[in-house]
Structure 1
Amino acid sequence: MPYALSLLDKSPVPEGATAAEALQRTVALAQRAEQLGYQRFWVAEHHGNPGLAGSAPEVLAAHILARTSRIRVGSGGVMLQHYSPFKVAEQFKLLAALAPGRVDLGVGKAPGGLPLSTRALQAVHDKTAKPDFAARFAELDAFLQNALPAAHPLAGAVAQPQPPSLPERYLLGGSPDSAALAARHGWNFTYAGHFNGDPANIERSLKVYREAAGRAPSLALYALVAPTQAQAERVVGALRVFKLHLPTGQTFNLPSEQAAAEFARQAGVSEYRLEETRPHVIAGSQSHVREQLDALAERYGIEEFVVDTPVTGFADRLASVELLAGAFDAVAA
């Protein structure tokens, strides 16, 4: 079945490089993705991490929109728990007015950083009246569509400007509950397969969304293409994810044991459980990765993949993006 390809970039800062260089490379990658025919280019939100330069996706997206002309650009995603839904609606309506028909608003539930960053982001929140994510999400949707209920405490506030068309809206999640929430508000749903690759959970979540929304979700995943299988596996290397289990029942995915221990320290937790996993990365030659994507599209009914290349080196990321596009060009030819 045919499907679209899109990219997610985290603006990694390789050892010896600067954040400015990392951001310049993200822009260059977006420009090359546009030339290669990718559907959309998303930038992520991470806080307090010197290895990732993208802390404000709305700012970076604006910069990329100004330096491209056709590709859709957006957030993958805004970590909504930190922000006023009204302000997020204003930001993305403004982007949609600047670049009509090219803006995506993706939102996520995760904190996107360690506890100290989260506390700093939420320092002015009213701790006695903090809404849950579903309530904040519903409020964002209402501000985008100028549809806040008359009984709402903020009724009458209108997020400006009014763009020619609203951003395309995506909820990024990894559970049936997130899929149901997206469908309930008429949003697109992107399953975060790069963080939760359990096939049974993917199947349940996508089924919930498809049955409730009547349309296909998209699937985000890790993939890397190299000239040979051996080269791809060598580039990916010993990629690991460390799932931190806190006594509260909360879980967080961290890139290393050290990052997990620092997260627990900042959270004031001395006892925790750490689960080391190897995330599923589709890594290999053009034909191998194409076969794997074809199989996933067939199995889950996917019409769009959002590909995250989980390496820091720009040359490897660029080569992977070019080779992946080339796999489809070769088939078309």
Structure 2
Amino acid sequence: MLFRRICFSLSKSYHNPLFLYPISTNPFANSQSYPIIPSNFEALRLGFRRTAALNSHTFVPDNTADSTMDGPRRPPVVPIPSPDTSGRAEVFRALEASLGSTFSSQPIVPNPNPLIIVISGPSGVGKDAVIKSLREVREDLHFVVTATSRAKRPGEVDGKDYFFVGKEEFLSMIEKNELLEYALVYGDYKGIPKQQIREFMAKGCDIVLRVDIQGAATLRRILRNSAVFVFIVAESEEALVKRLIDRKTETIEALLMRVSAAREELRHLKEFDYVVVNKEGELENSVQLVEAIIDAEKAKVHQRRAVI
């Protein structure tokens, strides 16, 4: 009987395809027990060791591990001294060593692009006074001198207030495409020479253009959103008319025409990016507001970029 049970047990183990390795079976063992394969047992033992190491609070990474097995080799841990007890240079170098790279000295944000500021508004609101004071407080600002075919007024200087040219010469500039914008205003031509803008923008200067409402509309079509459009107004219509009277530069007919034009021009205010109220006796506040507009534009993440 004993011999028969041994033979039966051996025969069963040799024909079981799951048992790929020679094993010893105890014929007297409990029928519910299972044989243990040595190779599987070793794998389980190694897996248990690895799991225990990963879950341990005292686990220390092995920087000498093979990078092909455990990923890229980690940089060595560098102790960083406290800024309270060490010099700035020492802490700085330790931080670089710990991160594995040097800190760049390049500016995080590049220098802002040169701006083109278009200033417009009705006659008599003080555009020239604002621009003159603005140029005195900002050295990197270039006021583009406009070319005109009209005659000089008393006190005006050629090349400073306007470039005074004859009508034939002005028409020649139009034909050669030398003007960014031009218009016929009150029977005289006015236009903006391109070359001035290009030269000073190349030097990093901001450009100020003083134009009438018609010129501003033309520049908006040409420059679109690449320029800043600022509308200057008086505090009221009454104040505007009084300023025009006080200038004493127009005849009654011309004065009436300018007042009528001013009323029409005020309707275009919403076409501009900013509005500045230039109150009587508060020129400094108006200039400071224009400066704030320029500074805000230069601080924008998405800069305007004008190409002439």
* Same fold (TM > 0.5): no
- Of structures 1 and 2, the one scoring higher in RCO (CA 8 A, sep 6+) is 2
TM-score (norm 2): 0.32
TM-score (norm 1): 0.30
Structure with more of its chain in strand, by fraction: 1
Give the greater-gyration-radius structure (CA). Answer: 2
